[in-house]
Structure formats: structure tokens, C-alpha cells
């Protein structure tokens, strides 16, 4: 079975009703397709994929114990599950409302890596359709897992960042815009540590307790998908009243993180798969 065979499973040859909508994945895919030799644009597409909320097609509604059963399609050389970046696109593919689990692309890739499964994205319903085999899933999982070093030492010398590619700065700006409320700000600086080691440091100021892993992940992904080696930038955490924080803010390139959304009343416990960054388990 090929990608086109999958797209014909439910007689969805007609154009979807929501075809006028253009998503972030659509735009990134269009840019990548227009310049197939540009590695930078290809990496940016995959970065948008892991950042996006995806809707995974299921055989049935998620179980209460957090176990899900994706619809699995055979393709040449393996099997794939199907996900869409809009629930309406999933419905267009199936031809009716269908059960799904909503989770981030990052969480979905982590869930299926090592399961000998590929991923079909937006097949048959959008120009951004992509079919990733299990090898591509494993590569993307490795990109996600690689993290920059988190340092505990205080730099002895701090200066303005130098010679950093625009792709890294753009990637950081995009990633940190998604980290609303996790920290007050971040400063990118050039540093020299005791012993003479030099490099760049992304210093988070006023990080919320428990937010450090997510912020480190965001920095690491921006770094990896910019094409730089992970050793090119460290990550550190400082409180606003830390004496070094003023120095960081004075000479560094500052990123202001968005304020957290307004508090809302607690809702009933969400069903499995509804939290984009807490993936359910495969059946």
C-alpha cells in the first residue's frame, strides 16, 4: 500500500471544506518544497512538526487507563499511524467524526520511536502531507533528545553574543514564545568560565520551579534545528535578585517570555491524550 492508497481509504478525493486555512506546518512545508536543497528550511519544517499540536487517528475513544489504540495502515516496507494538524483535517480524511488523541508532535514522536511505526502527516487533505518511515521517526526522536549542557557555575566574564547565526536567534525567539509563564526572561551572552572555557550561555531569569527541564528542552531544540552542534551553547538559571542577573541583562540579547494565560477555574480531569506533552501509551 502506498501513501495515495491510504488517502483513498474513505473516498476522500474531494477537497476538504477547510482547504482555505493555512497552518504553520503548511507554510513551513511550502517553503521547504520551494527549495528542496535548503537544509535550513527542511530543519525548520521538522521543528514546526514537533511544536505543533497533532490529532492522532484512533480505533476507538481513549481508555481511562491512558492506553490508546491508533489506526495502523500497512505501507511498502512497514506500518504507519496517521496524524493531522487540525481535527477538521482528520475528519476530512475519514469522512466523518472519528476518535483521536491530541498531543504535541514532540510527544507523538517520543511515543512511537522504537515501535517500528512510521508517521503519515496530513495525508490526502493538505499540501503539507508527509510520510515518515520508522527510520525518519528515529532520527527525529534523536534530534529531540539531544540537549545543551546545563551549567551550575557562574561565568567570570560576560559579554555580548558574537557570530551566532540568525537561524538560532529566530529559533530561540519562536521556542520561547511558546514558553508562556515559565520564566520572566532569557538572556543570550558570551561567557568565560573559571579555567578559561568560553562559549555562549542562554540564561533564564526567574524561572518557575519545575520549569527548568522544559526550558532546557526548548533551548536544545532551537540549537539542534539551527544546525549547530549542541556543545555551542550552555543553559543556566538565575533568580532576578542574583547579582549576576543585572550583568546578564545589561550586555545580553534579551528574550521576554510571554505572560502566562489568565487563571481559569479547574476543569474536570481531561481524557487520556488531551494533554499535548503527556502522551498516552500505545496498546
Instruction: Report d(CA 198, CA 191) in Å as an integer.
Output: 6
Instruction: Report d(CA 160, CA 58) in Å as an integer.
Output: 50
Please name the residues in contact with 91: beta carbons below 8 A apart, sequence gap of 6 or more. 97, 98
SS3 121: strand
Instruction: Report d(CA 167, CA 171) in Å as an integer.
Output: 6
Q: Is 148 exposed, middle or buried (0-12, 13-18, 19+ CB in 10 A)?
A: buried
Segment 57-113, tens digit of pLDDT: 999 987 766 788 999 999 887 899 999 999 999 999 999 999 999 999 999 998 998
Please tell me whether residues 141 and 153 are part of one structural domain.
Answer: no
Among candidate residues 232, 10, 208, the one with its CA nearest the CA of residue 125:
10
Please tell me whether residues 53 and 103 are part of one structural domain.
Answer: yes
Q: What confidence score (pLDDT) does residue 42 get?
A: 92
| Statement: residue 266 has pLDDT above 50 | no
Q: What confidence score (pLDDT) does residue 65 get?
A: 67
Please tell me whether residues 81 and 153 are part of one structural domain.
Answer: no
Q: What is the mean pLDDT of the chain?
A: 83
**Cell 550561555 -> residue:** 201
Instruction: Report d(CA 193, CA 142) in Å as an integer.
Output: 29
Look up residue 97 and give its DSSP letter.
-
Q: What confidence score (pLDDT) does residue 120 get?
A: 96
Please tell me whether residues 124 and 153 are part of one structural domain.
Answer: no
Please tell me whether residues 153 and 76 are part of one structural domain.
Answer: no
Residue 190 domain flag: yes
Please tell me whether residues 195 and 109 are part of one structural domain.
Answer: no
Q: What confidence score (pLDDT) does residue 164 get?
A: 84
Residue 107 domain flag: yes
Are 60 and 69 within 8 A, CB to CB? yes
Q: What confidence score (pLDDT) does residue 165 get?
A: 83
Please tell me whether residues 123 and 167 are part of one structural domain.
Answer: no
CA dihedral of 8, 14, 18, 21, whole degrees rounded to 10: 80
* pLDDT confidence bin for 178, thresholds 50/70/90: confident
Q: Of 102, 122, 145, which one is at a domain's C-terminal end?
A: 145
Please tell me whether residues 126 and 47 are part of one structural domain.
Answer: yes
Q: What confidence score (pLDDT) does residue 139 get?
A: 92
Q: What confidence score (pLDDT) does residue 230 get?
A: 44
Segment 124-169, tens digit of pLDDT: 999 999 999 999 999 999 888 766 666 677 788 999 998 888 888 8
Are 106 and 277 within 8 A, CB to CB? yes
Please tell me whether residues 135 and 176 are part of one structural domain.
Answer: no
Look up residue 263 and give its DSSP letter.
P
Instruction: Report d(CA 3, CA 277) in Å as an integer.
Output: 28
Segment 11-44, tens digit of pLDDT: 433 344 445 689 999 999 999 999 999 988 999 9
Please tell me whether residues 134 and 23 are part of one structural domain.
Answer: yes
Q: What confidence score (pLDDT) does residue 278 get?
A: 54
Overall domain count for the chain: 2
Residue 275 domain flag: no
Whole domain around residue 206: which residue ranges? Answer: 149-256
Amino acid at each position: 500500500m502506498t501513501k495515495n492508497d491510504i488517502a483513498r481509504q474513505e473516498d476522500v478525493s474531494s477537497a476538504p471544506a477547510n482547504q482555505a486555512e493555512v497552518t504553520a506546518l503548511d507554510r513551513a512545508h511550502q517553503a521547504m518544497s520551494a527549495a528542496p536543497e535548503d537544509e535550513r528550511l527542511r530543519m525548520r519544517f521538522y521543528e514546526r512538526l514537533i511544536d505543533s499540536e497533532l490529532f492522532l487517528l484512533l480505533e476507538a475513544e481513549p481508555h481511562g487507563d491512558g492506553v490508546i489504540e491508533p489506526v495502523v495502515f500497512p505501507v511498502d516496507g512497514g506500518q504507519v499511524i496517521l496524524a493531522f494538524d487540525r481535527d477538521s483535517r482528520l475528519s476530512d480524511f475519514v469522512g466523518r467524526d472519528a476518535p483521536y488523541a491530541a498531543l504535541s508532535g514532540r510527544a507523538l514522536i517520543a511515543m512511537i520511536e522504537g515501535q517500528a511505526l512510521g508517521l503519515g502527516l496530513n495525508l490526502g487533505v493538505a499540501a503539507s502531507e508527509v510520510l515518515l518511515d520508522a527510520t525518519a521517526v528515529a532520527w527525529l526522536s534523536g534530534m529531540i533528545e539531544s540537549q545543551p549542557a546545563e551549567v551550575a557555575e557562574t561565568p567570570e566574564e560576560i559579554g555580548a553574543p558574537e557570530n551566532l547565526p540568525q537561524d538560532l536567534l529566530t529559533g530561540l525567539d519562536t521556542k520561547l514564545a511558546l514558553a508562556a509563564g515559565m520564566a520572566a526572561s532569557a538572556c543570550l551572552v558570551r561567557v568565560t568560565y573559571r579555567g578559561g572555557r568560553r562559549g555562549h550561555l542562554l540564561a533564564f531569569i526567574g524561572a518557575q520551579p519545575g520549569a527548568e527541564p522544559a526550558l532546557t528542552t526548548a533551548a536544545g531544540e532551537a540549537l539542534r534545528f539551527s544546525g549547530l552542534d549542541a556543545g555551542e551553547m550552555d543553559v543556566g538559571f538565575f533568580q532576578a535578585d542574583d547579582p549576576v542577573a543585572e550583568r546578564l541583562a545589561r550586555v545580553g540579547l534579551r528574550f521576554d517570555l510571554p505572560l502566562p494565560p489568565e487563571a481559569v477555574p479547574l476543569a474536570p480531569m481531561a481524557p487520556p491524550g488531551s494533554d499535548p506533552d503527556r502522551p498516552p501509551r500505545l496498546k
